[in-house]
Amino acid sequence: MLSKGCRQCHKGAKMVLFITGMCEKDCWYCPISYERKNKDRTFANDRLVEKPEDVLEEARNMNALGTGITGGEALLETERVIFYAGMLKAEFGDEHHIHLYTGMAPSKERLTRLKGLVDEIRFHPPQELWDNILGTDYIRAINDAKELGMEATIEVPSLPGLEKLIPVLPLIDYLNINELEWSETNAAAMRERELSLEDDYHNAVPGAKEWAGELLAADDKVHWCSSTFKDSVQLRERLKRIAENTARPFEEITEDGTVVYGVLIPSGPVPEDLEEELCEIFDDRIELAWWLLTEYPDDFPGDKKIIERYPNNGMIVEVTPV
């Protein structure tokens, strides 16, 4: 049983709005990159937000059906959360589903300010509180959120002791378990605990799903989200949505949602009748359909290469000289 937010993620239709990298906690397993961790920057997907319109433009680029608000600790910047959530609802309507991740147990006053803006709150009680989860302030916050009309979810990484969360299941709408992920920022802490990488291709930690077994079997509201799914499905589907909306006519969209095109730094004349939809001319280069460079190399003298990158001028994946 999946929440609406998770179903949208499966489609790659959820924009990720990273409010701030600041956080008062220091969870050893936190996978946030050095680029973002403990830095007060806002990102819409992978785009650094410099003005509010950047957020709306990113949402339009992917035809976002909803937004996941995260951090760091997003509620350290509650005013920022309220501003962006309100802006997204105003632009795309109440049906634009917004879920919010927090490691806090927010006061009812703070939660009331999110009413009508946040549809689902995903609480992250730290591992050291699981032994006595029903005696923590998270239970009060869960009840307050539901009273205010929000869905209440617990979302935690796969760690030993997950079965201690079974008593909270009757009080919540969903419980999501994220496969423990190895990253550059938590690698030292992983090694200290004698944890390792599953293989050379994935960020998963072997044995992590076994820790979740008892909890997964307890109720169908418990959902397992694997590292492979996030990398191979969720990201790919989001990239496809962005590519379909932003790719230039001569860019080829791959099965992974990346775009491929050619780059020519000319050393001589090129065909004058080159169709506009097959190229874009810059001062120092021509970007064009990649197959022109491979099928008609003599017509395009100069330095030639094929670029594969994330859509909308995103990260370069591969450069192939021709």
Q: pLDDT tens for residues 166-215?
A: 999 999 999 999 999 889 999 999 999 999 887 766 778 888 889 999 99
- Model confidence pLDDT, tens digit, residues 247-295: 999 999 999 999 999 999 999 998 888 888 899 999 999 999 999 999 9
Q: What is the pLDDT of residue 197?
A: 83
Residue-by-residue DSSP string for 215-275: HHHH-TTEEEE-HHHIIIIIHHHHHHHHHHHH--TTPEEPTTS-EEEEEEEESS---TT--
- Map tokens 């403990």 to a residue: 38
- Model confidence pLDDT, tens digit, residues 65-105: 999 999 999 999 999 999 999 999 999 999 999 999 999 99
Give ∠ CA 70-72-77 in degrees, rounded to 5. Answer: 75
CATH code 3.20.20.70 region(s) in the chain: 4-242
Q: What is the pLDDT of residue 175?
A: 98
Sign of the CA dihedral with 89 first, then 95, 101, and 107 last:
positive
Looking at the domain covering 4-242, what would its CATH class be? alpha beta
pTM: 0.88
